[in-house]
Amino acid sequence: MRQTIDIPRFFFLSSAVISALIVILVFGFIFFTAVPVFEKEGVGFLTGTTWNYETHEYGILYYIVGTLVLTVVAMAIACPLGVLTAIFLAEWAPVWLERIMRPLIELLVGIPSVVYGIFGFFVLERVFRYHVDPFIDATLGSVIPIFRDPDPSSGISILLAATVLAIMVLPTITILVQEAMLSVPREYREGSLALGATKWETIKKVVIPVAVPGLLTGIVLGFMRAMGETMAVAMIVGNSARIPSSILDSGYPMTSKILNDIGYWVSNDEARSALFGIAVVLFCVEIVFVALIRYAGDRLRMDKR
Amino acid sequence: MAVTFNWRRTEEILFIVLCAGAAVLSALSLFAILGTITVEAIPSLGLYFILTAENEAPGVGGAVGNAIVGTVFISLFATALATPLALGTAVYLQRYASKNAFTRGLRYLIEVLSGTPSIVLGIFGLLVLVFYLRAYTGGFSLLTGSIALAILIMPVIERAIEDAIITVPTDIEHGSYALGATKWQTIRHVTIPVAASGILTGIVLGFGRAAEESAVVILTAGYSQFFPEFAVKSNEKLAFGMKIYPLQDLVGTLPYSVYHAYENSNVIKISDGFAAAFVLIVIVLLVNLTAKIILWKYGHD
């Protein structure tokens, strides 16, 4: 047989190689830029509490705490809402309602984050300042300190940013969880119902356990999206670097720190390296999450076999 | 018959109410946002607002014509840059690659890229494309923004195309091989045409993703109050001594217009910001709707 160069194969292979190279280049570059700050600060970069360009101290503990608190509060709102909505759509909603709601929810994934930002800043902030914050402060806040309102004159708070984030990741969670539940074979449900279980018992004891990998994927993806969100959060979280005293206090997540400072400090080697260091931390967390999703995905595939 | 308390039935009803309530609350919050933005936008909305460039409108803000054109341009360029790469990679992974370390690594890389916070790609673009390569990209420019966005949307398009190729029944490909067609002929005349609707959907979705992205665009495209112009002018700062408009020029985009309204809320009317947001939402929703319609009309499932 005549051996010729397979030009199409060469084209497809090279575009795959170029794709891989681009990704490696981007991440390699970000790591490379961040190296000086890790050399200088070591572990102190993660545990330090001072970030000061004048004294050349770079510690991001407050920003890590900011991201963590914000994301956890956002997920505490979004997870129950998203999962319950998904259960409703997958199990109880009549077909016509599901047909209307599902595409709507899918379309809403596309609302730009900066739009959520100005919505939070101009509209929701007032609602929180005059209604939500005083209410939480007066009820839960009188018992538990983390619900107290340190600044009644402002609605800008971790809770506000978390609420907006929750609305942003809600479609992601709902769609993925619903898909996971729909992929559970009908026979499983019928078997359970035939044994006399109610619909909810079937969902609780059969559908959800089988759908767990997909459910986890949805929640982890939602968490990732909430953690990496930048524009909307930076506009409404308050940006004050300290350990927040309550969820109605303002916070300063990692993404906001990068966004607020990079424009001014990009031409300063040391400051730039420190800001890229934050990106590296974000990126490392993300790699772990992607690995988690892959693991869950593998489980999903194994279960289907 | 004695009325007995039936826990199983009560639990069932409780959870139906809970789930339905959650669904209603989710739907309401999403509609409330869209509704509020529309209402807040109405005072500024109008043909003048959409068709005029900001420099021609009095004061700051006031019109977003330049930003609309800019958003469409930058998304088009980004899609055009990302699509060949995404298509090639997807076809390679689905039809050429064997399961080995390279393909597994490549898949992992693409997944990681698709999950990367946009701010990370944004600062990469700012440092490398805007600063280091400014002699070629023109610094903050349409080209810079398009390249950064292309990196962002490449995984989106790639995955959608892979999904489309997966749905192509292998029987008809085998039919093609049985008739003596080569692998390339089969891919070109069977696989890609059959998967065309899915591929097109993926490309449209990529366009939508590029149009909605805020952080990357703000960090790489800069802002201009003027409509993009088409010209080549001499410019000593750039490579080859010339500047190609609009590619190497600053470009205004809708996410930046919205962000401006927030940053300069003392000079720009709030309704201008919401109107820009409204226009942006309409564009993104129309694009996503187009993708859905393509899939409904020509899809195979």
Q: What is the pLDDT of residues A113-168, one digit of tens each?
A: 999 999 999 999 999 999 999 999 888 888 888 888 888 888 899 999 999 999 99
Across A274-297, average pLDDT:
89
SS3 for A238?
strand
Mean pLDDT, chain B, whole residue set: 90
Task: Show residues of chain B in contact with A112, CB under 8 Å.
Answer: 211-214, 255, 258, 277, 280-281, 284
Q: Which of A283-287, A297-301, B55-59 has the highest mean pLDDT?
A: A283-287
Tell me which residue has tokens 């810079």: B144
A154 touching B (Cβ < 8 Å): no
Distance from CA of B231 to the nearest CA of A (A): 29
Q: Is the residue at A45 inside a domain?
A: no
DSSP label at A42? Answer: T
* Least confident stretch, A125-129, A295-299, B101-105, B182-186: A295-299
| C-alpha Rg value of chain B to the nearest Å | 24
What confidence score (pLDDT) does residue B159 get?
92
Domain B65-298 has CATH 1.10.3720.10: yes
What ipTM score was computed for the predicted complex, to two decimals? 0.89
Q: How many domains, chain A?
A: 1
- Summarize pLDDT for B188-222 with one digit per residue, the tens: 999 999 999 999 999 999 999 999 998 999 999 98
Question: What's the whole-number mean pLDDT along residues A235-240?
Answer: 90
In chain B, the residue whose alpha carbon lies closest to the alpha carbon of A101 is B27
Residue B60's pLDDT is what?
A: 80
Is position A57 within any domain?
no
Chain A residue numbers with beta carbons less than 8 Å from the beta carbon of B102 are: 20
Which CATH number do you get for residue A294? Answer: 1.10.3720.10
Q: Mean pLDDT, to the nearest integer, of B122-145? A: 92
Q: Is the per-residue pLDDT at A293 higher than 70?
A: yes
Question: Is B1 a residue whose pLDDT tops 80?
Answer: no
Question: Closest Cα to residue B67, out of B301, B253, B221, B226?
Answer: B253
Asked if B274 lies within 8 A of A118 by C-beta distance, the reply is yes
Above 80 in pLDDT, residue A296?
Answer: no
**Per-residue pLDDT at A300 exceeds 60:** no
Q: Answer for the pair A117, A235: CB distance below 8 angstroms, yes or no.
A: yes
Q: How far is B148 from chain A (nearest CA, A)?
A: 10
pLDDT tens string A164-204: 999 999 999 999 999 999 999 999 999 999 998 988 999 99
Question: What are the domain boundaries of chain B?
Answer: 65-298
Using CB atoms, pick whichever of A11, A286, A287 lies closest to residue B88: A11
Q: Select from A17, A114, A198 the residue whose CB has the most chain B CBs within 10 Å, as the one to mutate to test that interface.
A: A114
Percent of chain A with pLDDT over 90: 61
Question: Taking phi first (over 0 means left), then psi (-120 to 50 degrees means alpha), and beta for anything else, what does residue B63 get?
Answer: beta
For position A102, what pLDDT does the model report? 85
To probe the interface with B, which of A12, A63, A281, A295 has the most B CB atoms within 10 Å? A12
Instruction: Convert the pLDDT of each residue in A83-118 to its tens digit.
Output: 999 999 998 889 999 888 888 888 778 889 999 999
Give the contacts of A56 (CB within 8 A, at least 6 positions apart).
Answer: A270
Of the pLDDT bands very low, low, confident and very high (cuts 50, 70, 90), residue A5 is: confident
Q: Does residue A304 register a pLDDT over 50?
A: no
- Compute the mean pLDDT over every residue in chain A, rounded to the nearest whole number: 89
Instruction: Report yes or no on A102 lying in a domain.
Output: yes
Strand partners, B117: none
A224 touches chain B (CB under 8 A): yes
* Cβ-defined contact of A19 to B121 (cutoff 8 Å): no
Nearest chain B CA: its distance from A143 CA (Å)? 27
Tell me what pLDDT residue B120 has: 94
Domain that holds residue A188: 63-304
Residue A283, domain member (yes or no): yes
Long-range contacts of A24-31 (CB under 8 A, 24+ apart): A24/B109, A26/B113, A26/B121, A26/B124, A26/B151, A27/A283, A27/B112, A29/B124, A29/B127, A29/B128, A30/A276, A30/A279, A30/A280, A30/A283, A30/B120, A30/B123, A30/B124, A31/A280
Calculate mean pLDDT across residues B5-18.
Answer: 88
pLDDT at B142 over 90: yes
A253-262, A266-275, B239-248: the lowest-pLDDT one? B239-248
Instruction: Calculate how close chain B gets to A174, using CA atoms only, in Å.
Output: 10
Give chain B positions within 8 Å (CB) of A22: 85, 151, 154
By C-alpha distance, the chain A residue nearest B15 is A200
Spell out which residues of chain B touch residue A289, defining contact as CB-CB under 8 Å: 115
pLDDT at A305 over 50: no
Model pLDDT, residue A3: 60
Could you give the CA distance from residue B194 to residue B274 in angstroms, rounded to a whole number? 42
Q: Across residues A251-256, what is the average pLDDT?
A: 94
Average pLDDT over residues B137-141: 90
Q: Is A110's CB within 8 Å of B212's CB?
A: yes
The answer to whether the CB atoms of B112 and A286 lie below 8 A apart is yes
